[in-house]
Structure 1
């Protein structure tokens, strides 16, 4: 069961990809493992293991964890490659075999002795051992275990558990061969063989019998297998129907959503080819956030400043000096910007561009500046959210979320029943349905705002003088502020050419002095001065376990 849970967890992590996975220090695969265990009459077992590794890149050696059962011990661990003896270093139950190289396929032979490994009862003596367990962190592409008796044996009984179940075959002279094929990391696979007690004359006999227990385990596992098979078949039928229906639902949602969004966008297309500046529906910073970029750049902050000039909250006395006229603003974010410029950096009534630069040069003011800019940005974002420009489709999203969550639950159940294709398809479909929970297409009003202002931006690149002259002073200022807040890298050149072409008396009532480079650069320098970086502490992950079993690895 733990093997299946580990496999399911691995698939979930691979498909969801919710967290970054740190690559192993050594890249390798274990293509083949053969284990020969020779049982001795004195109760010890001589084990010979051959591990074939394929390395990519540099490596220093391999590891083998051998955890003995209670009452047993591991002795005389050695390692060789061909005729070459290798250094082995023990760290608790972990053995490190030193063999360095790069981009090689190697086969390492391990030898060790398990002391007191045989338990003798009235009707037989058993060897019951886990050569690997769920603590193993490596996949075995091919694994075979063969257990040999101390002498030719008859009346040999055996069983394998978990990955070893129904993989054993009785061979000549009483040897039992377990061919497990591929064994994923985190799997269990104990082997249990019962011999005639006469093969171990020197071992003290315990009370009780063992063969009846082995027979009971066989019957239990056989019954479990039948129940599992029936449950697997039933689940496969109903599960396939459910997952197929969920997949069809997702495709229907995608088709409906795409068609609905396409129709809404088409309806919002402008019906006129004439140039015009849209009516004020949101502030210019909020409009830029919604139509141009979700990153509120220094250019947007400069546009926000010019909006306050347009609204007569501020008077621009020169390129570098501004005067506060009115603190009553339409939006909370405008109030935050006034507080930053006139109260924190200015004298409460006047603000000069050099004030902001000097203020942010002082490291003691960095937190205060960043806090104000953050509050301003949050206010702009909040204004956009308050306008409800996205359809929520709450009932539809809740339904998709419920079915997606159910699919995750059924994926786990499919995995427990070894229905891996169904599990994978269920996970993928569940992820897509859960992703649909975040689907919130633009409303008609949202498409309209975005289309109108994108048209303004395109038109102003080659705007004719007569079209510009038809605009009111307020429309000219709003169009100018919007253009100022567009992409930083191209905006200054566009703004400069636009300003040179239309620097008439249209802005006289606003007291506007044209220097877009200064305005955007003002906040660029301030942001650069106040930029702070923080590094998160490294996390430490530990793991510990005790018991019989083990695993393989490399370093």
Structure 2
């Protein structure tokens, strides 16, 4: 009973851990080797009176794996080129200025510039660490002065990034303060925010995360007096047209945000409704499906009563699974005690035994024994040495595994035919477990969605109640019938006695005939070594040799015992086959106002 309570305890703990694992799986990205994240992307744009712009980009990478460096492409289409390039890297508090060179040495960079593109490749070896790379250069002709307004239209972050950019901050500083007619719009993801500071002559653009392959475009309008020295002039009026264009883009963006909020609200409350209905449904199902409840078993006590059934059947009843190789070892010992086979210690190997056939009718009933005697052995006997050799060939190992599986299924059916198993309760236990997992999984998702709501704590309480109800429901409905439940208790008490052997005088329990009957069960339960050790301690060699029957030479005598030796050989023989189964502050707009720089982007190598 203590074993069962311990299993239940670990089942509950394991279930809670599984729920936590599902939650963290949903909320934590999985990383592979040699990947990187960009954890911060800060850009300072200092617009000059002549229409040029001093650009400073600070990009923080977090590397997982080994990397040689990073690269960046600045799209120059639509402007007059770039100059005054300066590159540096900050790692662990140390700033290193990088030198232009073609050597590809550490802390150098290469520069390739055409009319359309500026490509920088930075060589900086780094492994499993973070570093901030800073690019400084001057961009020419970024401002256009029209008759009625000056315009900056620039995809400051291009669409050539293959990873999301986190913690994005873009600061555009104009060369004048108190610009009452300053207007600013930003195009890109709808989750960003634009702040227009007219007194400071400044525009701030923020986004918690910019998706991969998504540009961020800034479109500013301000008086031409702000850039009086700008030679890039166009003789026409565009201000009203551009304002109308941005107003239309802003209207569409706001409508999309509204639709997105509505969709999100519907989805969120649908998830809430489904999770609550599934939880209430599971609770009602539990009430309407009582099954066959069983009373709790009393505490386990030592039992010395031999189980009613054979060792292999008894193992199936208490463990409720197919018999294993230990059960088959016990089965052979029982056949030896019944004088249907003989087992002898042979050969010079410490663990070599020979099994000989006395009753040929066994081969007609048992295909596994037939294979062991006729294919592993010579038809009359087989040895563990021959079994080891036979199992080394994959074809033979697969054959042995298949026949052993048939033996397992046959013995398992024989055990089930005894009526100890309650099929109804078994089905209800599975249904209750899945109902709890599914409803709790939905509650976890709902909690993640409504984490900022005070009543999310009630959902946590519902998960705890789910676990408690599932535990109590399953505990009261074991997989055993009423008679099987009592049989399980008797076997559990018997097994506890074997587990506690050494804490009592074996002679006071019974004579060696009793322990001879017990030994196959000790083999099936994996307790043979412990029992044999105590037999040698409690009884003399003479008593064991005289009274322990056929088991003495193969189990008690020597440093090993047949049960352990056969189990090891047989398990090894089948193992190989088993592995061959508005312009003011506000949110971003969608679309684009046609700004330059869309091809900008970068990465790591």
Partner deviation per Cα, 1:331-367 (whole Å, 9 max, x = no partner)? xxx9353144223302234323332133235566444
Which of 516, 520, 527 aligns to 1:481? It is 520
Whole-angstrom CA distance in 2 between matches of 1:18 and 1:364: 47
Counterparts of 1:358-507 in structure 2 under 5 Å?
A: 358-360=389-391, 365-373=396-404, 376=407, 388=421, 391-393=426-428, 396=432, 399-400=435-436, 403=439, 414=449, 442-445=478-481, 447-460=485-498, 461=501, 462=504, 464-465=506-507, 467-468=509-510, 477=517, 479-487=518-526, 491-495=528-532, 497-498=534-535, 501=539, 503=544
Counterparts of 1:179-198 in structure 2 under 5 Å?
A: 179-180=206-207, 182-183=208-209, 190-195=216-221
Greater relative contact order (CA < 8 Å, ≥ 6 in sequence): 2
Total equivalences in the alignment: 512
Whole-angstrom CA distance in 1 between matches of 2:45 and 2:415: 72
Pair 1:212-2:244 in alignment: yes
Whole-angstrom CA distance in 1 between matches of 2:600 and 2:278: 41
* Root mean square deviation, CA, Å: 6.1
Whole-angstrom CA distance in 2 between matches of 1:143 and 1:292: 58
Whole-angstrom CA distance in 2 between matches of 1:28 and 1:222: 31
Gaps of 5+ in 2: 1-19, 90-94, 99-106, 225-229, 346-353, 581-596
Counterparts of 1:47-446 in structure 2 under 5 Å?
A: 47-52=55-60, 63=70, 66=73, 78-81=86-89, 84-85=97-98, 86-88=107-109, 97-100=122-125, 107-111=132-136, 125=151, 127-129=153-155, 131=157, 137=163, 140=166, 142-148=167-173, 154-162=181-189, 165-172=192-199, 174-180=201-207, 182-183=208-209, 190-195=216-221, 201-202=232-233, 209-226=241-258, 264=294, 266-267=296-297, 275-280=304-309, 284-285=311-312, 287-288=314-315, 291=318, 298-309=325-336, 314-316=340-342, 318-319=344-345, 320-323=354-357, 325=359, 335-360=366-391, 365-373=396-404, 376=407, 388=421, 391-393=426-428, 396=432, 399-400=435-436, 403=439, 414=449, 442-445=478-481
Deviates more, 1:510-519 or 1:199-208: 199-208
Cα offset for 1:220?
2.9
Cα offset for 1:305?
2.3
Whole-angstrom CA distance in 2 between matches of 1:170 and 1:224: 26
Tell me if structure 1 keeps the 8 A contact 2:70–2:604: yes
Partner of 1:36: 44
Cα offset for 1:129?
2.0
Tell me if structure 2 keeps the 8 A contact 1:292–1:486: no
Tell me if structure 1 keeps the 8 A contact 2:173–2:203: yes
TM-score, with structure 1 as normaliser: 0.65
Tell me if structure 1 keeps the 8 A contact 2:194–2:203: no
Gaps of 5+ in 1: 1-10, 537-546
Tell me if structure 2 keeps the 8 A contact 1:68–1:74: no
Cα offset for 1:491?
2.6
Pair 1:518-2:571 in alignment: no
Cα offset for 1:452?
2.4
Tell me if structure 2 keeps the 8 A contact 1:33–1:144: yes
Cα offset for 1:268?
6.5
Distance 1:24 1:102, change over 3 A: closer
Partner deviation per Cα, 1:408-444 (whole Å, 9 max, x = no partner)? 88689x49xx979999998998899799999966334
Tell me if structure 2 keeps the 8 A contact 1:164–1:190: no
Tell me if structure 1 keeps the 8 A contact 2:74–2:599: yes
